[in-house]
Structure 1
Amino acid sequence: MPAEATASYTESPYYLQAVAALARSRPVTAHRDIYCSNGMKLVAGGTRLGDEQFERLAQHKLTEPLDGMLISDRAIDAACLAIEAGKILEHDPVYARLANRAGDPLAVKHGLAALRLPPPLLMRLTVMREQRPDIFEHSLRTSMIACALALRLKLDAGDRATLLLAALCHDVGEMHTDPLLLASGHNITPDERRFIHVHPLTGNVLLSCIPGFPPAARLAILQHHERQDGSGYPAGLRAGKISPLAKLLAVADVAETVIRRFDLPRLDMLARLHHSRFDAAAVDALRDLIHSTPQDAHQMRQERGPAFQLAHLAEVLRAWFALRSAFEHQVAPTAPERSPLAFLFERMNSIRQLVLQAGFDPDHSDSMLDIAHDDPGILLELRTMLDEMEWLQLDLANEIDRRSAELLGLSRTPLTDLLRHLRHEDCGAQCRNDAPYLMQCSK
């Protein structure tokens, strides 16, 4: 019995299925013997794995993660990553703009090419690229934005490399999530959302099993969904307890999603509206890098008119005032941190202040629309602000779901009414699914 047979590791069935699918299209070989936790040999070294071997592996706990025991033909490496980044820079003008304004257009290619990527990590990235290309593409582009931010903020070479590696690997935990939950159009339930929220923890555990993976990169991955105001996950940390690299990774992660799904004006407005949730220096650097111009505005996608959105925002605020009136005796003004509703008071007050600071009044929408229609610049500002307000409201609804255990003792009627308005039912399944990814990111 090998010495390592005392260890016990259960491989995710979703990841095992992805590796098995890869093995049907190219050789995947055990480069050494694979044992289960009781010391029985499951696969001999040198064996090309097929469905029979994967079925056997699925039935046993292993002595270590599968990535460390397999190799694949045409596996990805650092040079491949640099080539892929080069293609993006060549064909995507937004990323070319980011790279140029960062001061060194070739920095990300050189940085990726210089990464030291252990074989188990290369195996996992290969499976990601071939079986979950959406996650791979998001991760690579996020690493490119993170590199630009690091250059703009003048991080030293060591921190730049660590951030680049963390960005490249920040969603490896999603390879252990049921892909059906992340599929476009799937309406995620509150119970399902917890499986998505665990992916930073899963990534941290997976990468801790890879010898030599930098602890600072793992910490950034663990915390990349944390938010300055404590509204993130998995630990609900506030600014002082979030690592500096995690703060940069959070901004890069959200920026990639918004650029891919929407446009630069929306990204610029998101950065302005969510200043309390993200690191100010990182947000300022991002806005400088994207340098949104009026010429970018024609790319905007409008899902509904501003009159509809203004009316909905007014309904949300009225529902909030009703809930606040019903529950204000339960929230001690001198000690809000001890109330289960303290987070909700903070977030809704923040939403209201953002609306007012932007110079808009949803209770007087007709006059606002008249002014906006006479000025294309104001109309663009209004539409972008309202789009982001909708994402913020949906994100708050998801946070209420996450904290439902804390709210069990409270009367549900006013809270349910607010949730109904925050989600507003005609939004559609895709809108609901995108919100947590954008606002908690901000997938």
Structure 2
Amino acid sequence: MTNHDDTSNNIIENIISASEDAEFYLSEDVFDQSGNKLLGKGYKITRKIKDKLISRVLKKPLETSITSIPSLTVDVLYTEANALIKDNPFLQNFNPEIQLDVYAIKELELAPLASLLLTVQRTNRMEAFQHTLFMTLIARLIAKKLNFDSSQIYDLTIACLLHDIGELYCVIPHTQNLSLEQWRSIMTHPIIGSTVVRQHMQYSANVSAAILEHHERNDGSGYPNHISAEEGTDIGKVMIVAEAFSGMARRDYNARNLFTTLKLVCHDFPSAPYNALVDLLLSVADYENVKESNPILDQLLTQLKNIEEIIEQLKPLKTKNSEHFQLSNYLIVRLKKICQIIYVSGLTDCIDLGLWEQIKLDKEINQELFITISEVEWKMKDVLRDISLRIVKDDIRVSDELLAIIQRMKGNDETVAIA
């Protein structure tokens, strides 16, 4: 897990960065572990605070003693959620029901630290803040579809709003080319966020538990605990689906494209909230027109052929005497699931039926296949990242043969480092 001193430095750096657009003050006196007063209530947060507190062990985390002016209130959340819907045609499909969810935000009680961290997120990372709001609204729609009671929906709403606060304690580079160490840091954010909520906010235990679970997947390939998503809490299951869907929606897919993407990854997610989300999409009356795209059939077939060949290359390594048995077996399982995404598209069945030319000429089918390609590429990147982290974590000595296979999987992708 990320070093405690690193997380403390990262959150203070984020607060200092946000102080360029908002003012932050100490809401109470700050003491060291021995009870010595270091700074007084009302002290303005600037970069100098790090010099004053360097090498000092505080009685409690500094961020728990900081407030902002202006602070992020439920009224601000209400305004921002309304603005998000106004600018998002997809969310407008769920009017007027979604307006009830926006109004319900006004009834929340934000803990002081929750308000501070959301202020910092909104100031420093507006895209992440808008992702949080989008996810929250979608999660509430799913929860109502599943007949959650008011207490569950309240906890779900709080958990969604705070699900990514752990990222403020990590270093988030402004690049897609992340090192393994950077990925390992980012993958701790559910643990950090859950711990912060549990230790410093008076919310239900369901909230911190769900935050911990929001990146898990059915096959155990998620993080941080690699459990099956179906084993999670009811609130956590909804968050898993809503969080992933929010990420899909940020790729600017229209309703039809989103529905197609969901079909391709159905096995990743808990069934009840997944089915509820599918029902929500089906309830949208008018799908937008599918954008024109070029035939991409050859590209998808090439992807499939490449993955199937990699699986065959891995099989000789999957012997009980091989030091790479577990690693090779894990790779084969993950790659077969990626092949399944292509099979689900119906592509191979259509070719078997002699419909090659019809597929190439059908714009709608080509658009769906384009989405499939994007999903396959994303899944391959995820497998590469996961396998590299496993190699580093378990200090596995990689043979030249296995390294060549991993390099083939990587291809020209420079966004994933190989251990």
Tell me if both proteins adopt one fold, taking TM over 0.5 as the criterion.
yes
Question: What do residues 381-413 of structure 1 show as CA deviations (whole Å, max 9, x unaligned)?
Answer: 222222211111211112211221577667634
TM-score (norm 1): 0.83
The residue that corresponds to 2:48 in the other structure is 52
The residue that corresponds to 1:245 in the other structure is 235
Q: 2:267 aligns with which of 241, 259, 276?
A: 276
Contact residue 32 and residue 56 of structure 2 kept, 8 A: yes
Contact residue 318 and residue 328 of structure 2 kept, 8 A: no
Identify if the C-alpha distance between structure 1 residues 358 and 107 changes in structure 2 by more than 3 Å, giving closer, same or farther.
same
The residue that corresponds to 2:337 in the other structure is 350
The residue that corresponds to 1:256 in the other structure is 246
Q: 2:386 aligns with which of 385, 389, 399?
A: 399
The residue that corresponds to 2:318 in the other structure is 328
Kindly state the Cα deviation for residue 115 of structure 1 after the two structures are TM-superposed: 1.0
Contact residue 99 and residue 106 of structure 1 kept, 8 A: yes
Contact residue 149 and residue 286 of structure 1 kept, 8 A: yes
Identify if the C-alpha distance between structure 1 residues 35 and 406 changes in structure 2 by more than 3 Å, giving closer, same or farther.
closer
Distance in structure 2 (CA, Å) of the matches to 1:74 and 1:411: 53
Distance in structure 1 (CA, Å) of the matches to 2:349 and 2:54: 56
Distance in structure 2 (CA, Å) of the matches to 1:9 and 1:419: 34
Kindly state the Cα deviation for residue 35 of structure 1 after the two structures are TM-superposed: 1.1
Q: How does 1:76-87 map to 2 (within 5 A)?
A: 76-87=72-83
Q: 1:415 aligns with which of 389, 397, 402?
A: 402
Query: CA-atom RMSD, angstroms?
Result: 2.9
Distance in structure 1 (CA, Å) of the matches to 2:273 and 2:95: 16
> Which residue identity lines up with residue 210 of structure 2 in the other structure?
A
Contact residue 164 and residue 193 of structure 2 kept, 8 A: yes
> Which residue identity lines up with residue 335 of structure 2 in the other structure?
M
Kindly state the Cα deviation for residue 317 of structure 1 after the two structures are TM-superposed: 1.6
Structure 2 residue matching 1:284: 3-state secondary structure: helix
Contact residue 331 and residue 341 of structure 1 kept, 8 A: no
The residue that corresponds to 1:384 in the other structure is 371
Identify if the C-alpha distance between structure 1 residues 307 and 10 changes in structure 2 by more than 3 Å, giving closer, same or farther.
closer
Structure 2 residue matching 1:12: 3-state secondary structure: helix
Q: How does 1:139-158 map to 2 (within 5 A)?
A: 139-158=132-151
Distance in structure 2 (CA, Å) of the matches to 1:308 and 1:399: 25
Identify if the C-alpha distance between structure 1 residues 52 and 380 changes in structure 2 by more than 3 Å, giving closer, same or farther.
closer
Q: Does 1:137 align with 2:130?
A: yes
Distance in structure 2 (CA, Å) of the matches to 1:415 and 1:147: 45
Question: What do residues 64-101 of structure 1 show as CA deviations (whole Å, max 9, x unaligned)?
Answer: 2223212211111111101111111222111121455x
The residue that corresponds to 2:168 in the other structure is 175
Structure 2 residue matching 1:416: 3-state secondary structure: helix
Identity of paired residues, percent? 22
The residue that corresponds to 1:196 in the other structure is 186
Distance in structure 2 (CA, Å) of the matches to 1:299 and 1:72: 48
The residue that corresponds to 1:335 in the other structure is none
TM-score (norm 2): 0.88
Contact residue 68 and residue 116 of structure 2 kept, 8 A: yes
Question: What do residues 343-379 of structure 1 show as CA deviations (whole Å, max 9, x unaligned)?
Answer: 32322222233323332239979x7753322222322
Identify if the C-alpha distance between structure 1 residues 279 and 148 changes in structure 2 by more than 3 Å, giving closer, same or farther.
same
Q: Does 1:314 align with 2:284?
A: no
Question: What do residues 306-352 of structure 1 show as CA deviations (whole Å, max 9, x unaligned)?
Answer: 4234313311221111111x1232399xxxxx944443232222223
Kindly state the Cα deviation for residue 20 of structure 1 after the two structures are TM-superposed: 1.7
Contact residue 9 and residue 63 of structure 1 kept, 8 A: no
Q: Compare 118-127 and 258-267 and name the one that shifted more.
A: 258-267
* Structure 1 gap segments, 5+ residues each: 1-7, 333-337, 434-443
Count of aligned residue pairs for this structure pair: 408
